[in-house]
Amino acid sequence: MNIVLDLLWLLITIIYSYLESLVKVFIPRTRKSVAGEIVLITGAGHGIGRLTAYEFAKRKSRLVLWDINKVKKEVGDVSIVVNNAGAIYPADLLSTTDEEITKTFEVNVLGHFWITKALLPSMMKRNHGHIVTVASVCGHGGIPYLIPYCSSKFAAVGFHRTLTLELEALGKTGIKTSCLCPVFVNTGFTKNPSTRLWPVLETDEVARSLIDGILTNKKMIFVPSYLNISLTLVRFLPERALAALNHIQNVQFEAVVGHKTKMK
């Protein structure tokens, strides 16, 4: 009898969720305020991280900027622009221990949006915060000659989904989670990328989408947004159809195979 009731509740939940999603298409989502919140951004010295810092600064967040590359001057440039946003703490992530992290934030870690292992317990204690995982569309489907990259992004997506489930199981509803999954971004990581069906994105577009997703508590942030639909459809395609779709997609970029650089 219990399984019947559970299945009935599941059906009701599915119908309600679809109706809620349909309503949200026509009604703009409420955006939360991040003014005064502490925002920790790793990789803040360049690319998406740097532009994300600018976007949070516009919203008067308190920024903690880290980068594994020693680009203190660039991080400093950010602090000059956002000096009205609150405290700025440039730091080298590689030289910072968990103990140092904990000491830095032991007074107030109420508003962190970027997470490290050392900060999660404090966020859980306050039941407040937002954890953002940066992944890629490659975390949902592989691309030839990018095995290490795709594998790491699959791991990132898995981390996001598992952490989300664990926080829900623990009743930590005040801690939100988001996962950024863009297509190719023009950051220089891949050389001369091109596809027939996907655009090659600029970092400012991705940063704006990321901020919008965080402020509306969006779980999975696809850029462009229609990727969500295409990835759902792909799950229902047979293997031969997927191979044909990949052929049409014709993803190309410069890859190093052995000791030679080739277009793939």
More confident residue, 257 or 197: 197
Residue 35 resides in a domain: yes
> Per-residue pLDDT tens for 138-170?
888 878 778 888 888 888 899 899 999 999 999
Residue 229 resides in a domain: yes
Residue 254 resides in a domain: no
Structure tokens at 5: 């009731």
pTM of the prediction? 0.75
> Per-residue pLDDT tens for 121-145?
888 999 999 999 989 988 888 787 7
Three-state DSSP at 224 gives: coil
> Distance (Å, rounded) from C-alpha 67 to C-alpha 46?
8
> Per-residue pLDDT tens for 208-244?
999 999 999 999 999 988 888 778 877 788 888 878 8
| Residue among 153, 157, 164, 159 nearest 130 (CA) | 164
Report the catalytic residues.
149
> Distance (Å, rounded) from C-alpha 106 to C-alpha 100?
10
Q: Which long-range contacts (CB under 8 A, 24 or more apart) does 143-148 make?
A: 143/251, 144/251, 144/264, 145/255, 145/257, 145/264, 146/255
Provide CB contacts within 8 A for 58, sequence distance 6+: 85
Residue 5 resides in a domain: no
Alpha-carbon radius of gyration of the chain: 20
Total domains in the chain come to: 1
Averaged pLDDT score across all residues of the chain: 76
Cβ neighbour number for residue 50 with a 10 Å cutoff: 21
Residue 124 resides in a domain: yes
DSSP state of 85: S
Residue 158, domain CATH: 3.40.50.720
Residue 18 resides in a domain: no
Q: Dihedral through CA 67, CA 69, CA 70, CA 71, nearest 10?
A: -70
DSSP state of 141: S
> Distance (Å, rounded) from C-alpha 221 to C-alpha 156?
13
- For residue 115, is pLDDT > 80? no
Domain that holds residue 168: 31-249
Residue 136 resides in a domain: yes
| Residue among 38, 39, 42 nearest 91 (CA) | 42
> Distance (Å, rounded) from C-alpha 217 to C-alpha 239?
34
Residue 185 resides in a domain: yes
The residues with which 260 forms a beta bridge, in sequence order, are: 257
DSSP state of 88: B
